[in-house]
Chains A and B, each alone.
Chain A
Amino acid sequence: MRTPPQNILALLVVMLAITGSIAQTQEANLVSVEQLQSAIRGDESKIQVINFWATWCAPCVKEMPLLEKLHLSDNRVHVRLVSMDMDLDPNPEKVMAFIRRKKLLSEVLILNEKGPSNEWIDRIEKTWSGALPATLVVNNRNGKRKFIERQLQEGELEKLIDEVNN
């Protein structure tokens, strides 16, 4: 029995739709500080760019296109967008909805720490006051790191990456 070409076409459309929707609805993983740290430390092949943000934080949302652009344009870099929303709101759905709405392509993680932030902010970065947004750039090959605790300007990420590369 021969399958009519229309059916094959329909199947193809369905398959494309499925893969398309998988690519679009990226689900953010919930991580502890320890899991985040070992993820950052574990990769020597790429410069690690870790951006701390929250859906309620206007300057974070404003600078996000710079991080997305970096993720798409520079394959020497691994960009992680770490949401701090759960510090205030136990339901991660708002973050998931934000990812879908903005169609974020960078890896998104949601920090899920039970303990008070006073106990873990220093473990991420000693000079961090806890204010958002904040961005950490790490080169595991030479141990160099840069930290910025304010909204990023155009071109700033590229400069930081150059600095940890040299």
Chain B
Amino acid sequence: MRKGWILLGILSAALTAFRPSFTGYEIGDTATDFKLKNVDGTSVSLADYKDAKGFIVVFDCNTCPYSKAYNSRIIALNEKYVSKGFPLIAINASDNSSPGESTDDNISKAKKHTYKFPYLIDETQGIARAYGATNTPHVFVLNRTPQGLKVAYIGTIDDNPRSPDKVTVRYVEDAIDALLSGKEVPVKKTKAIGCTIKWKPA
């Protein structure tokens, strides 16, 4: 009996030691739905969008200079793709106790820029962790398939944060255009310098 317990102990220790650390989604993974509070007080889930062919999920925040630099491009992405079946969902996952990132700050940002898309609050930061969002703005393009919402692109919006007029590659647009025409997404994953998501102290 005692041997059994020891064995169990060794086994569970081994399992803990070799459990891979979860680092968020890779391309092709099935993305989880969520139910998060919007700036208008309602709750929003991806399941609410019955006709959507997919989604542009953007982890964003209010104070990050990269978020500011990309704000008009985020609004334009929704405008261009909502009618094509890819609505944009912005999520603020920053610790809402950090300056400029409270619910009220989210509300005034959405108002100021007349957001026509949800700006959700990931209060527990659980969705950002599940997706593996690290920066802001960090984009996940999801594609609806019979097997669920598949992650088709992860990364930055385009190749020039500094000047929109000098952009040469529009990664997110290229990804959605490819999905809409049944082609392979040309660049599936990108990295970019950016603000870290402000995580709550553990």
Contact = CB atoms under 8 A, between A and B. Distances in A.
A150 B198 CA distance: 10
Interface string A78-98: 000000100111100000000
A88 B155 contact: no
Interface string B178-202: 0000000000001111111111000
A118 B155 contact: yes
Contacts of A117: 156, 191-193
B65 A129 contact: no
Contact of B193 (A59, A122, A132, A150): A132
Interface string B127-160: 0000000110000000000000000000110011
Interface string A20-62: 0000000000000000000000000000000000001101000
A131 B195 contact: yes
A129 B59 CA distance: 14
Contacts of B155: 118
B134 A118 contact: no
A68 interface: no
Contact count band on B: 20 to 34
A121 B193 contact: yes
A4 interface: no
A129 B134 CA distance: 7
B135 A129 contact: yes
Contacts of A5: none
A116 interface: yes
Contacts of A133: 196
A132 B196 contact: yes
Given A117-B193, A121-B191, A88 B159 contact: no
Q: Which among B66, B155, B194 has the greatest number of chain A C-beta atoms within 10 A?
A: B194
B19 interface: no
Closest 10 A/B residue pairs (Cβ): A116-B159, A131-B196, A129-B134, A118-B190, A121-B191, A130-B191, A117-B193, A130-B193, A131-B135, A56-B65
Given A117-B156, A132-B194, 11 more contacts: A59-B196, A88-B66, A88-B161, A90-B162, A117-B193, A118-B159, A129-B134, A129-B135, A129-B191, A130-B135, A131-B194
14 contacts: A87-B162, A88-B162, A89-B162, A116-B169, A117-B191, A117-B192, A117-B193, A128-B191, A129-B134, A129-B135, A129-B191, A131-B134, A131-B193, A132-B193
